[in-house]
Amino acid sequence: MIFVERSHLSVPDWFKSQKAITLKSEISNFYSSNSIELLAQRSLRENQNYRRMLSQVSRVPEVRSELKLLFNNKCAFCETSFSELFVAHFRPKSVYEWLAFEWENLMLCCRDCNNAQRDSFPINGLRGEVMSSIEELRKKEDYLLVDPCYDIPEEHISFNYNGEILSLTNKGEETIRTFELNRPSLVRGRRMRINEVENIVNRLRENFEINPTQATFDELALKISQIYKFPDQPFQGCVRAVFIMELDKLRRKLRNEVLQVNSDSLGKHVNHLTKIRKISSIKVENLLYMEDCEIQLNESDGSDWLMILGENGTGKSTLLKLLAINLAGEEKRRILRHGILSPKDLVKPGYSSGYIQIVFTGEPVITRKLIFNLDETWAGSADHPFDGNVLSYGPVRIVMKELNFDDIIQNQFNSFSCLLDMNMWLVEKYKSDMATYSAAVRCIRAMLPIEASVAQNFLLEPDENRLVFRNLHHEQNKIPLDSLSSGYRTVFSLVCDIFRKLDGKDESSLEGIVLLDEIDVHLHPRWKMRIVGQLKALFPSVQFITTAHDPLCLRGLNKQEIVVLNRNSNGVRVHSDNLPNPEGLRADQLLTSEFFGLSSTLDPEIEVIFSEYYSLLAKRAKGSADEQRIEEYKESLKQWGYMGNNRREQLMYRAIDLFLAEERILSTSELRQHAEDNNLMDKLRNIWNKKE
């Protein structure tokens, strides 16, 4: 980390634009027009314009280019030079919502530092008042992170020859821990950079050692200063600190001073610890009828979501259950009595064992392997519980008036393992812990499928022993929470259950892994379209692995966040290559895409005909009966308008049908090779000639 003079660059024009001015006015109005009670229950994220601009500001070309120029295309905190750098908020937008569009609060940050900080901004004492400027917050708050554009990093951190970063102050230590600046990959990178500089100055150092004069010292000092004064090079803070110490030693030697090495003066070593670990890959071998596969979870945009699609019986729930018992450990597997998977029933026929292996993000790499054996035993490296928060929910989520704090994955295996009764819990929290109550209520409000302009008229508060939405403009207009539909209550109970079991005081800072089977149950189509986006915004640091049967639940996901379990002649294949982008596709287009694989949304009978038609086309050796049946199916499909109305369309559909038929028996890579081996134009000409 090095000091970066921000005043050298003017504020980008985007922050002076009318849309930015309007947005800041809306932010100011939000805080000035709401009562203290209502502000405790509301979030700026309810404002649609705020949410939209929040996702856009980091992609504004002018903002990105100015930040790259300011930070020399390096991470502001660890100084790595990567092509993939993110626009991040130094003071997290979840904590300081009103600073989300302040130029001085934006930094250029690598993925690892961004993921490490998440929504953390430690301080001593109280936080500054809402709507305080950054300058005011610097004066009022005793903040514990080094601001590279305001603080002098050399006053708080130093480095040693091994490439490790050392703390000189409490602020330095907290900065190292928060951004995980002693990650093994960083230490290796700094050490390599130190070696590079040593190779450059080695000859001059040898000259000084042979002839220790002021001239040879000055020549060496000049060369070193030229190297560390280039701000665009990686790890310049480390190079500067290490070689300034080296020059100081040589200067003392030149003056015949006694060199006293005090290890404490170098700083305090801060051990690396990855605070948040998420699943980065899932590998499965010899599981029932599923083909061996490895699922890479999306890391291209820092997303923490994976949606698993597939027909009934393809193994979606089995996969979630295996993940749950892998993460829960041996003791939890032994305690579970209902719905637990039998090891022997999981093994693919013809094999004696199989396994599910989970690899996690962070350094050093952690792998958990759960082996299921034909002799009804479990084995592997997943006996101890995963050192992180894990929750698992099945498709049936019943709400009961009980508080079971120990039940973290049992609902996945036992439908009678109940969710939190939010009425009972929130009324108790209202009396004993108002901060937790307000945070939990913000979770509920974030999931309301109504516009913010309507939601802002209601305050959620206890009325005797139950919660009610009270209309602020009509005091007698009260809507009991338990009078809402089962869909509302189930979703509200789910988010409260997640909030409570992840031990959160602030919804945006919750961390963990949530496995959620059939996210779409009990939801109206309008809510299905919002549910993923709502949960992403509400729990930004929580990793969700979910299943669904409804195309509307793909809203808010990109194609890298989705895998499909396809049934074919060899079993079930996990498919994630070349999926379309779900954004912008209509529901019927999603249903007939690779995500759901329907040939038609009109009639199940047509779907059956298409399935049998493709199966016959895919056969390598067809008999006369097969050819006759194919012609019969083609005639039926032609009557319904599925074979084209002219030669051009017929040619196109014929080629498409051949491809889709082959897709049923070939993997994506095999299809690519098959396309290369069989010239497409030759195939089209052959089809055309047959038509003639």
* Same-domain check for residues 323 and 349: yes
Asked, for residue 438, whether it belongs to a domain, the answer is no
C-alpha–C-alpha distance, residues 394 and 369, integer Å: 23
Q: Which domain range does residue 105 map to? A: 13-149
Task: Examine the domain organization and report whether 221 and 361 are in the same domain.
Answer: no
**pLDDT tens for each residue of 197-216:** 888 888 888 888 888 888 88
Per-residue pLDDT, 692: 44
Could you tell me which residue, 264 or 246, shows the higher pLDDT? 246
Residues 591 and 615 in one domain: no
Residues 25 and 121 in one domain: yes
Residue 444 token pair: 């509920």
The reply to whether 295 and 355 lie within a common domain is yes
Strands in 517-559 per DSSP E: 542-547
- Comparing 364-378, 534-548, 559-573, which segment has the lowest mean pLDDT? 559-573
Average pLDDT of every residue of the chain: 81
Largest CA distance in the chain: 101
Q: Which of 556, 583, 598 is the last residue of a domain?
A: 598
Residue 685 banded pLDDT, cuts 50, 70, 90: low
Q: How confident is the model at residue 150 (pLDDT cuts 50, 70, 90)?
A: very high
Higher pLDDT, 65 or 586: 65
The pLDDT value recorded for residue 102 is 92
- Number of independent structural domains in the chain: 4
Mark whether 31 and 127 lie in a shared domain. yes
Residue 380 sits in a domain of what CATH number?
A: 3.40.50.300
Measuring CA to CA, which residue among 105, 86, 107, 98 is closest to residue 1?
Answer: 107
Residue labelled with tokens 């052959």: 686
What is the DSSP secondary structure assignment for residue 464, as one 8-state letter?
Answer: T
Q: What angle do CA 301, 111, 408 make, to 5 degrees?
A: 75
DSSP string, 349-387: TT-SEEEEEEEESSSS--EEEEEEETTS-EEES--SPPS
Q: Which residue has the higher pLDDT, 405 or 166?
A: 166
Greater confidence (524 vs 676) lies with 524
Give the global pTM.
0.77
Q: Do 329 and 292 share a structural domain? A: yes
Q: pLDDT per residue over 257-292, tens digit each?
A: 655 555 445 778 888 777 778 898 999 999 988 888
- Mark whether 414 and 558 lie in a shared domain: yes
Mean of pLDDT values over 48-58:
81
* 378, 333 contact by CB (below 8 A): yes
Shared-domain flag, residues 574 and 628: no
| Residues 318-323, mean pLDDT to the nearest whole number | 91
Residue 408 binned pLDDT confidence (cut-offs 50, 70, 90): low
DSSP assignment letter at 339: S
Tens digits of residue pLDDT in 85-98: 889 999 998 889 89
**Do residues 34 and 456 lie in contact, with contact meaning Cβ atoms separated by under 8 Å?**
yes
Confidence of residue 223 (pLDDT cuts 50, 70, 90): confident
Final residue of a structural domain among 213, 235, 261: 261
- Is position 178 within any domain? no
Question: Is 453 within a domain?
Answer: no
Select the more confidently predicted residue: 489 or 25: 25
Quote the pLDDT of residue 94: 84
Give me the percent of the chain exceeding a pLDDT of 90. Answer: 20
The pLDDT of residue 503 is 75
pLDDT tens-digit series, residues 569-605: 778 888 877 788 888 788 888 887 888 877 666 666 7
* Cβ–Cβ under 8 Å, residues 177 and 270: yes
Contact assessment for residue 441 and residue 427, using Cβ atoms and an 8 Å cutoff? no
Question: Distance (Å, rounded) from C-alpha 320 to C-alpha 524?
Answer: 24
Angle ∠(271,164,143) on CA atoms, nearest 5 = 65
% residues pLDDT > 70 (the chain): 83
**475 occurs within a structural domain:** no
177: closest CA among 113, 119, 126, 235? Answer: 113
- Residues 411, 553, single domain; the answer is yes
Which pLDDT does position 671 carry in this prediction?
A: 47
Task: Give domain status of residue 505, yes or no.
Answer: no
CA 98/CA 101 separation, integer angstroms: 7
pLDDT digits (tens, 9 = 90+) for 603-640: 667 767 777 777 777 777 778 888 788 777 777 777 76
pLDDT of 156 reads: 94
Residues 412 and 546 in one domain: yes
Place 649 in a pLDDT band, splitting at 50, 70 and 90: low
Q: Which of 569, 598, 627 is the last residue of a domain?
A: 598
Residue-level pLDDT at 602:
61
The Cα–Cα gap between 186 and 264 comes to: 23
Structure tokens at 274: 């990855």
**Whether pLDDT at 386 is above 50:** yes
> Are 622 and 594 part of one and the same domain?
no
